[in-house]
Structure 1
Amino acid sequence: MELAVLDMAGTTVADDGVVIRAFDEAATTVGLPTEGPDRDAARRYVLDTMGQSKIEVFRALFGDEERAQQANVAFEQAYQSAAGAGVRPIPGAAEAISDLRDAGVKVVLTTGFSGTTQAMLLDALGWTDIADLVLTPGPGVRGRPYPDLVLTALMRTGVDDVAKVAVAGDTASDVVSGLRAGAPMVAGTLTGAHDEATLRNAGATHVIDSIADFPSIILSH
């Protein structure tokens, strides 16, 4: 393997459920009732679609572009306020990234958050130089479950074959994105949003307790 594409929140970064709290603030901002079946259904959808681009999640939930954009801005602000002081690395994550890079494997960190929120997370963790590249959805790069983040990582790092790419994430969307890109190794981690059954049903080739276990799988492949 020459490239490892790793998710952030839930895979390499712990944020103690800030995503759902930020979603609740965003949903309230755009007028979703604070209690009741509509709020419960929206929370369930957010959990089911963890890992996807947040603006796409809000578009699906609210249907209206202006309302989705308003919710996305409120979400990003709430997430950044809550997560800035509370995020921390998943135990062993920094060491795993270092081990991969020391072995000559390029590492790209990806997220469904905006570039601004990703930069905040990296700065809070002291990770601004930890990876070869960091990526978020944006113009010409769709978020998960599309394959764009993985394929963009491949192109921008100069790796010449998707058969040399390994992907790891904690959600079904991470797994589907890696499989759609054609990566032969797509691991689900049990430190985030989705359980083993969900990850395996999505098609994960491996399910691991933590990203700390990922280098030994890649380097023995």
Structure 2
Amino acid sequence: MIELVACDMAGTTIDEHGDVYVALARCVEEIGVETTPEAVQEWMGADKVEAITALIQAGGGAASPGIVAAAFTRFKELLVEFYAANPPVALDGVEEAFRTLRGQGVKVALTTGFSRDVAEHLLASLGWSVAAPGVEAGDPGKVLDAVVCSDEVPAGRPAPHMIHRAMERTGVQDVRAVIAAGDTVNDLAAANNAGVVAVGVLTGKLDREALAAHPHHHILDGVKDIPALLSFPN
């Protein structure tokens, strides 16, 4: 029986209009390093400091700690600007799916390549927050049981640490009782590395063929379909 569903944020549960892609590319390009859409896509779902470091190196730049830190600061500034101009919204059916899952006793967690400060700002804009332990989905905003950010673990995706940290925070012990859902290759890799059920969703940039080319258990149209996968009626 599934006890925990851990979902990525941008592109999986939240439509932020692809602004994270633009911000990631621009913060690197502004220091004089060229990027490509393919290179940026490769690092989607990963810790953003790790992504910036890799993109600078791939472009032939010097990824010194100071340069990476400055680029990361600029990345966060750009996201604030973009999100203010075009606010992120919950993807279709996601909140309802979260409430259905929690109503059936399944814990819901978000894992993200964003740092805690970025994630908290994003969640606040949506009105999402973490419910107290044992509290079901009564308050409309209390749709989560845990949020884990990449700056809270030793390494971001494709490492399994965020999924395992979500298990720790929700008291789930068996990896076989966990679904991890995401819209990127790194999301699937992290799920497989964690030993959980790997679910790809088609609400991001990759189509079914691109996701299905990587190890997975299910490919769904979106997180909204997870309750049906578990035979829970919405």
Once the two structures are superposed, the pairs formed by residues 30-179 of structure 1 within 5 Å of their partners are 30-32=31-33, 38-40=34-36, 43-63=37-57, 64=63, 65-84=65-84, 85-128=86-129, 129-179=142-192
Q: Between Structure 1 and Structure 2, how many residues are aligned? A: 212
Shift of 1:31: 2.2
Q: Which moved more, 1:169-178 or 1:151-160?
A: 151-160
CA distance in 2, matches of 1:159, 1:80: 34
CA distance in 1, matches of 2:153, 2:46: 16
Q: Which moved more, 1:164-173 or 1:64-73?
A: 64-73
Contact 2:128–2:143, Cα closer than 8 Å, also in 1: yes
CA RMSD of aligned residues (A): 1.5
Contact 2:88–2:126, Cα closer than 8 Å, also in 1: yes
Shift of 1:139: 4.5
Q: After superposition, give the CA deviation of every residue in 1:35-61 in whole Å (9 maximum; x if it has no partner).
A: xxx333xx3211122111111011112
**SS of residue matched to 1:39:** coil
Contact 1:30–1:70, Cα closer than 8 Å, also in 2: no
CA distance in 2, matches of 1:80, 1:141: 26
**SS of residue matched to 1:138:** helix
CA distance in 1, matches of 2:230, 2:74: 38
CA distance in 2, matches of 1:19, 1:139: 20
> Aligned residue for 2:224?
212
Aligned residues with identical type, % of pairs = 34
Shift of 1:207: 0.6
Contact 2:28–2:56, Cα closer than 8 Å, also in 1: no
Q: TM-score if structure 2 supplies the norm length? A: 0.86
Structure 2: segments with no counterpart, 5+ residues = 58-62, 130-141
Contact 2:101–2:227, Cα closer than 8 Å, also in 1: yes
> Aligned residue for 1:35?
none
Q: TM-score if structure 1 supplies the norm length? A: 0.90
Structure 1: segments with no counterpart, 5+ residues = 33-37
CA distance in 2, matches of 1:204, 1:45: 22
Query: Where do 4+ consecutive residues of structure 1 move more than 4 Å?
Result: none
Distance 1:111 1:140, change over 3 A: closer
CA distance in 1, matches of 2:14, 2:111: 11
Shift of 1:80: 2.1
Contact 2:28–2:55, Cα closer than 8 Å, also in 1: no
> Aligned residue for 2:139?
none
**SS of residue matched to 2:151:** coil
CA distance in 2, matches of 1:76, 1:83: 10
Shift of 1:30: 1.7
